[in-house]
């Protein structure tokens, strides 16, 4: 192996990142935009009194499950949120929630159109598939390094890294959902003279909804799994508590913060799953 010179892969990536950094204006714009969305969520969450927030979550759960009520979930949510309040993790929890919601929203806005494109075009599928594999399997830490260079430290690089890591399921499941629409329904839509857009919005997307929502659910869970990682570059929230606890060898504090993440994860998961379920079949 010694006779073959080592590939300067690391240098290449470095110079690519250096080159990207020259577009300061663009990345500042993106930073402000993402930061804006993030701050808007945070502003709303800070505005709502804690007790009212809990009531809202319970009411929302009650509403999305109205045909098939799950009392155990309501009790769990009530107890879980009270525990978070009691442990004094409330603000951290809302920061984490903000990060998850912002990155999920961005993942959705970018991921669904990409999924549609992938379903419609073979070339897009061939190009996107390996990129998605790459995005999902590359250790998430790696994204943090250029993210800091491009977006500074704080919430925004954390969100960007989360989006990259969490987007693939949304893209994949959208693609799969559309491709799995029965051929006869596509033919039916065509035979009645639907335009491509009409076919997409009246037939394909409604039928792909279940699969698409499953993708959104997965994306949300993945971005939640990024919170501890993101805290290393200054994204505030429950992740920070865990990260600090690691540094101080504080098993109890780490567990408490970790438990809060679990509670938040379960609530988000059940809520998005309820949205996924086919209502009419009850």
Q: Is 66 in the site for another protein (CB under 8 A)?
A: no
Report the alpha-carbon distance of residue 159 to residue 59 in Å, rounded. 28
| Mask for 33-52, x = binds another protein (CB under 8 A) | --------------------
Q: Which stretch binds another protein (CB under 8 A): 18-26, 50-58, 202-210, 241-249?
A: 202-210
End-to-end CA distance of the chain: 64
Cβ distance to another protein smaller for residue 46 or 190? 190
CA dist 30 → 23, 150, 155, 161, 233 (Å): 11, 10, 13, 13, 18
Site mask, another protein, residues 205-234, x = CB under 8 A?
Answer: -xx-x-------------------------
Residue 132 sits at φ, ψ, to 5 deg, of -65, -45
Task: Give start and end residues of each alpha helix (H) in the chain.
Answer: 9-21, 24-47, 50-64, 71-86, 90-120, 122-137, 141-151, 155-179, 183-191, 196-199, 205-225, 227-231, 238-247, 251-276
Q: How far is the CB of 189 from another protein (least distance, A)?
A: 8
Provide DSSP, 200-230: IIIIIHHHHHHHHHHHHHHHHHHHHHTHHHH
Give 88 or 184: the residue with its C-beta nearer to another protein: 184
Q: Does 56 bind another protein (CB under 8 A)?
A: no
Total residues in contact with another protein, by rule CB under 8 A: 18
> Please, which of residues 174-193 interact with another protein by CB under 8 A?
182, 184-185, 187-188, 190-193
In the complex with another protein, which residue's Cβ is closer, 107 or 203?
A: 203
Residue selected from 195, 246, 251, 255 as contacting another protein according to rule CB under 8 A: 195
Q: Which residues bind another protein (CB under 8 A)?
A: 182, 184-185, 187-188, 190-195, 198, 202-203, 206-207, 209, 280
């Amino acid at each position: 192996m010694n006779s073959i010179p080592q590939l300067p892969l690391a240098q290449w990536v470095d110079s690519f990142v250096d080159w990207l950094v020259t577009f300061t204006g663009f990345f500042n714009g993106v930073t402000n935009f993402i930061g804006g969305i993030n701050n808007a969520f945070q502003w709303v969450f800070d505005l709502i009194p804690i007790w009212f927030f809990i009531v809202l979550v319970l009411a929302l759960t009650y509403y999305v499950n109205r045909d098939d009520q799950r009392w155990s979930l309501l009790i769990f949510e009530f107890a879980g949120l009270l525990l978070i309040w009691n442990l004094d993790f409330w603000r951290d929890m809302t920061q984490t929630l903000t990060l998850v919601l912002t990155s999920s929203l961005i993942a959705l806005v970018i991921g669904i159109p990409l999924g549609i494109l992938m379903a419609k075009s073979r070339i897009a599928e061939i190009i996107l598939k390996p990129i998605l594999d790459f995005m999902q399997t590359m250790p998430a830490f790696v994204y943090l390094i250029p993210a800091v260079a491009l977006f500074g430290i704080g919430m925004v690089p954390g969100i960007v890294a989360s989006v990259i890591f969490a987007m693939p399921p949304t893209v994949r499941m959208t693609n799969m959902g559309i491709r799995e629409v029965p051929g006869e329904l596509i033919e039916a839509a065509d035979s009645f003279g639907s335009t491509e857009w009409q076919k997409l919005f009246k037939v394909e997307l409604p039928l792909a909804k279940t699969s698409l929502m499953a993708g959104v659910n997965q994306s949300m869970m993945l971005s939640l799994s990024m919170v501890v990682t993101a805290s290393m570059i200054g994204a505030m929230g429950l992740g920070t508590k865990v990260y600090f606890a690691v540094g101080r060898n504080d098993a109890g504090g780490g567990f408490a913060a970790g438990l809060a993440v679990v509670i938040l994860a379960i609530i988000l998961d059940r809520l998005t799953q309820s949205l996924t379920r086919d209502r009419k079949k009850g």
